[in-house]
Amino acid sequence: MVIMPAFICPGLSEMAARAGKQVIHIDSDPQTLHPDLAQLETQLACQDASETIVLIDHTFGYPFPGLAGLRRKFPQLLIIEDCARGLGTRINGHFPGRHADWILLSMYKTILGSTKGAVLLTRTPVPLTDGRSTRATLRERAATIRPVRFIHDLWKRRHPDFGARPSGLISPEWAPEYGFPSDLSMSRFADELRDFDMRASVRRSIAGELIDRLSLIPNIQCIASATKCHSANHFVSFTVRPDKMRDRILTALHGKGFFLYRTWNVVPAHYRRFSGTFPSEHRGSEYLADHIVHVSVNLFVDCKQHRQLIPALSDVVLQCCKG
């Protein structure tokens, strides 16, 4: 059995299902983005911990503080800690991974323009089948050239993609590709790690300013890190309160050159394959799917741009709410 959050990439749920595991989703709290800890512990108490896997992610860099308690209460549990966007997260002053059996660190979600690669850390050796090294894609090579990135961003501005969610979904598309990251991805990830402390300090400063100013805009609620936890600051996430306003707001911002995200606007609850996998409900994850917005801090390192974002967002929110 695999237990995981309901607000998560549905591809992970599909992966577990295709591996022959029974999948259970725990609804997520719109205030934190994380699975409801009480629901999670109640469900675990009904299972044989030695036959159960829990997959927890530090959602968009916001640390989940409950892993120490899960390890203490269910010592035989196999815990997979997904740090895809959590590199730099701290919980009670410590980096993540202290209480997990497997730890996943994303390469491609850490560096702009990359499309592949992850680091897997385990307490016990895991045999991996040899696979070929992938070649760097055109996108990955182009991402290293500043003028090309500018043209790409200009194209994105003119082609916003905030359409309606697909309907009638049975299961997520899932086509795994096996192999090893390209040399370009490896070298760019190494460069990121080498400069990580400096970049993290810059991101912390920008994220703090964004959160302070976003909190002043009506109809917006910022996601806050749990007590004694520090976000990785790769993203600043917030929810837009009026129903059916999020995509209108993002489209208007996109036209002004401000690229914000709505990941994940499609979650496991939207697929018929997972309709019976929620022991409680899935209102929290569906609310987040319809209302969440993420600011990629890396795209707003320039002081002028991240300070222009707030008045632009404030104006757009006001106009959309009036309209």
Q: Is the residue at 57 inside a domain?
A: yes
Whether the per-residue pLDDT at 26 is higher than 70: the answer is yes
> What does the angle CA 289 – CA 293 – CA 294 come to, to the nearest 5 degrees?
120
Q: Is the residue at 74 inside a domain?
A: yes
Q: Is the residue at 132 inside a domain?
A: no
> What is the arithmetic mean of pLDDT over 155-183?
78
Give residue-wise pLDDT tens across range 262-273.
Answer: 999 999 999 999
> What is the arithmetic mean of pLDDT over 271-281?
94
CB 245 within 8 A of CB 320: yes
Task: Give the torsion sign (CA, 215, 220, 223, 224).
Answer: positive
Q: What pLDDT is stored for residue 113 in this prediction?
A: 67
pLDDT bin (cut points 50, 70, 90) of residue 157 is: low
pLDDT bin (cut points 50, 70, 90) of residue 303 is: confident
CB 120 within 8 A of CB 189: no
Q: Is the residue at 52 inside a domain?
A: yes
The percent of residues in the chain predicted with pLDDT above 90, rounded, is: 55
- Please provide the average confidence, as pLDDT, over all residues in the chain: 88
Structural domain boundaries, residue 93: 2-124+137-322
Q: What pLDDT is stored for residue 182 in this prediction?
A: 81
Q: Is 162 in a helix, a strand, or coil?
A: coil
CB 216 within 8 A of CB 238: no
Could you tell me how many residues make up the chain? 323
Give the burial class of 159: count Cβ atoms within 10 A of its Cβ; 0-12 exposed, 13-18 middle, 19 or more buried: exposed
Q: Is the residue at 220 inside a domain?
A: yes
> What is the arithmetic mean of pLDDT over 53-60?
95
Q: Is the residue at 275 inside a domain?
A: yes
Q: What pLDDT is stored for residue 138 in this prediction?
A: 77
Give residue-wise pLDDT tens across range 89-141.
Answer: 899 988 888 899 999 888 877 776 676 778 888 888 877 766 677 788 777 78
Q: What pLDDT is stored for residue 205 in this prediction?
A: 92
Burial 66-92 (b: 16+ CB within 10 A, else e): bbeebbeebeebbbbbbbbbbbbbbbe
The CATH code of the domain that includes 233 is 3.40.640.10
| Contacts for 43 with CB less than 8 Å, ≥ 6 apart | 3, 24, 26, 279
CB atoms within 10 A of CB 242: 13
Q: Is the residue at 131 inside a domain?
A: no
Of 322, 299, 62, residue with least CA distance to 218: 322
CB 272 within 8 A of CB 169: yes
Q: What pLDDT is stored for residue 158 in this prediction?
A: 62
- Structural domains counted in the chain: 1
> What is the arithmetic mean of pLDDT over 189-203?
87
- Structure-derived torsion over alpha carbons of residues 151, 152, 155, 159, reported in degrees to the nearest 10: -170
Distances (CA, A) of 65 to 9, 56, 96, 186, 228: 20, 10, 9, 30, 9
Q: Is the residue at 88 inside a domain?
A: yes
| Contacts for 263 with CB less than 8 Å, ≥ 6 apart | 60, 292, 294
Locate tokens 């741009």: which residue?
305
